[in-house]
Structure 1
Amino acid sequence: MITDPELGEDWQTEPLEQAPARAGGGRERPAPRPWQWALGGAVVASAVWAGGLYAFGGLSADPEISYRASENLCQDFAARTLGGIAGDLHKLRPVNHESSNRAVDGAVCSLTNVEGAQDFTVTARVDLHKKADPSVEFDAPPLTLIAHAGEVRTEAVPGLGERAAMTAIAGEQILQLKAIDGGAQFSIDVSVATFGEHNDRPATDADAVKAAMTEDLRELIAKLRK
């Protein structure tokens, strides 16, 4: 049975300032507590993105986006620094998906260094938010990643976009780096089977992987900037 994640002292986020929403009767509606995002899950998050952001002042008619949509994220995402750790991540067939709708243009690229086995997998994602400010959800915990893990640790990453954060899950074997900038949200997820030697890959450590993720995301952000 999946239980609620145990949040340690390392889970630190700054609450977002929410503009008070007013119901039809003129009374102020209390701003949501940070963990209502988690308790509501993906269904609530989807509902908020679909229509509720007007209440929080996070929706604008034509927000300015500083980045172009990726037509093939696996071509735009070189993963050079991570490739220096895991080996050539583009040697196998990359898995690439793009989507576009009225609210968000999205692109996903999944890479791995070993065919048919779990060793070092990388997923990059870019979402261009055409109708809403992505910072509204930035502090929400990554529910899709913590569903099968308990301990979650998040720390800010300075100097990357407007805001950036690194989340470590399951003893740092699952890492997520996400950043927002210019109306876009970028992320890199890395899953490592072992930090020791594996399939001719030399041993590494979590700090080296985190540094590589930061450099590769910085390069991707620069690549997609208009």
Structure 2
Amino acid sequence: MTPADHPDRPDHSDHVGGPSGAGPRAGEGRDTGGAPGDGRGTTGGPDGGGPGDVGGPDGGPVRTELSAGLPGWVLRAAVGVVAAGVAGVLAANGVEWPALALYGALAVAAMAVPASAAVALIIGYPAAAMVLTGDEPSWPGVLALVVLLHLLHVLSAYAAVLPLASRVHLNALAAPAKRFAAVQLSVLGLAAVVILLPGGRTAEAVEVVGIACAVGLVLGVVLLMRRRG
């Protein structure tokens, strides 16, 4: 029976989509001519708007599911926690409470507006406070500040670009965490070498060799940067 036998019924034979003729139905992919079972025949997603299932090794669909993630305000809360740790290190090294109170106010401002100058102040303020205490800072306190202030910088940078209502997946923070660990291992390794160096006058030959090595490192870095550029 053909559409001509029923003139009161609309003819949809020329349409490739749903009843409206505008395109594929919601939830149906558009056929692109792939062989059955090869995973390449549909381009529409489950909701009709995005990419569809990608064929797996066995011809079936491969789906990637993401967890709910963490709310965006978690990074700002982490800034406050790390800043509290910095304040604890300052208090242990003899910084007076008025200076600590000022640092706390700056930390609150950095949590509220991570893209403000308050972040630069909570990073630079501890170094000045340690110098102005009058007592010689202890090595553990200095090294702890190196780690904590670097962590403050990283957390504030990401908190500045993520809205409070956003979601953060931990997998997205894996690469920054690796870079942070690599930098800290290098810095702390160099600090350990400096601590272990004997005090007193160094032999002139050792000083010359040290200067030559430093110049060589600088030249090597410059050459590498020029090649990559």
- TM-score, length basis structure 2: 0.26
By percentage of residues, which structure has more helix?
Answer: 2
Which structure is larger by alpha-carbon Rg, 1 or 2? 2
- TM-score, length basis structure 1: 0.26
Q: Taking CA–CA contacts closer than 8 Å with sequence separation of 6 or more, which of the two structures ends up with the larger relative contact order?
A: 1
